[in-house]
A and B are shown apart, each in its own frame.
Chain A
């Protein structure tokens, strides 16, 4: 619960920062940083989200339990995404040519000549 009335100046400063970050993320997308494009974009997104949560949503002035709720939700989402991805990206760790791997339709490492479902290539 917010017992604090925040200054208008604070809200406008956060707003300004968010706009700057948006311009930054859009601008950097037009520069070739290779794989770091993604990293930078996500870091900026996290910064923006943090600003919104801390100041617009008043988390800075909330009890600890609220932080636990947010952290728990994000942590469990990380578990879902992390373990699911670890399944798909370790499917090919078995020996080459084994039925297990050939049976796996979705694998980042499909052999040439694999008997897995052939995807039609229109392009």
Chain B
């Protein structure tokens, strides 16, 4: 480990014999193939979420008043909190990748645990408080759709119709739900990484595994970066 203050490079953490799968010629081919594979998978995820974004774009433009009303029935404090939480988790994830590159097992473990905690907190708070709260308020289409009189007041204020607001809430639950599902998978991936890290299999040279999980994690963060304004801030909050 460098004792001077210059920025550390990979040369400070030289690799020994790293296991390379039989189909690959060398470590470099393996890591570039793995990374490219993850980027391709993320491309499929773009299209997967994209179907929902397509429907959302369509109906938001058709029923802007209803979407505005629905958006106002959500709580900005939750949305903003989640956004900050996920950005923090992306930071810790990126720092974790860096630790893996530098073969620092303890640092990597710490960053992975921090990321894990934030991801878990995201899912827990979302499901236990926000979603459950919406359900109690009667804003869950297909499960419990009975908007309260305050909600009806809000809907009337924007000259919207209740069925259209129901459509908004279907998108809200579908999009944040699909996102939460991906977060849960991400937390699972982090758990696996943590186990491998403690077994010493990652900081022995397989830093690329952390990079790949990191790519997935950042992608899920980016989806939320778009979901926040598109669901919580429609039409502005000045009214």
State if A and B touch, Cβ cutoff 8 Å: yes
Contact A85:B61 (CB < 8 A) given known A2-B97, A11-B98: yes
Name which of B88-96, B180-188, B198-206 contacts chain A.
B88-96
Contact A81:B53 (CB < 8 A) given known A31-B236, A32-B238, A66-B39: yes
Instruction: Assess the A11–B94 pair: CB atoms within 8 A.
Output: yes
Instruction: Assess the A77–B53 pair: CB atoms within 8 A.
Output: yes
Instruction: Assess the A37–B233 pair: CB atoms within 8 A.
Output: yes
Query: How far is it, in angstroms, between the C-alpha of A26 and the C-alpha of B152 when the chains are bound?
Result: 25
Name which of B16-24, B30-38, B122-130, B131-139 contacts chain A.
B30-38
Query: How far is it, in angstroms, between the C-alpha of A77 and the C-alpha of B234 when the chains are bound?
Result: 21
Instruction: Assess the A44–B43 pair: CB atoms within 8 A.
Output: no
In-complex Cβ contact of A56 among B51, B61, B83, B90 (8 A)? B90
Instruction: Assess the A53–B53 pair: CB atoms within 8 A.
Output: no
Q: Which chain A residues border B161 with CB–CB below 8 Å?
A: 119-123
Q: Which chain A residues border B141 with CB–CB below 8 Å?
A: none
* Total number of A residues with any Cβ neighbor in B under 8 Å: 60
Query: How far is it, in angstroms, between the C-alpha of A84 and the C-alpha of B51 when the chains are bound?
Result: 11
In-complex Cβ contact of A19 among B58, B87, B155, B164 (8 A)? B87
Q: Is B9 an interface residue (CB 8 A)?
A: yes
Nearest chain B CB to A72's CB is how many angstroms away?
7
Q: Is A5 an interface residue (CB 8 A)?
A: yes
Closest to B164 in A: A119
B52-77: CB near A (< 8 Å → 1, else 0) gives 01100110011000000000000010
Q: Which chain A residues border B40 with CB–CB below 8 Å?
A: 69
Instruction: Assess the A22–B155 pair: CB atoms within 8 A.
Output: no
Q: Is B222 an interface residue (CB 8 A)?
A: yes
In-complex Cβ contact of A80 among B50, B61, B80 (8 A)? B50
Nearest chain B CB to A75's CB is how many angstroms away?
10
A residues at B contact (CB < 8 Å): 1-8, 11-12, 14-15, 18-19, 22, 25-26, 29-33, 37-38, 41-42, 44-45, 48-49, 52-53, 55-58, 62-63, 65-66, 69-70, 72-74, 76-77, 80-81, 84-85, 88-89, 106, 108, 119-123
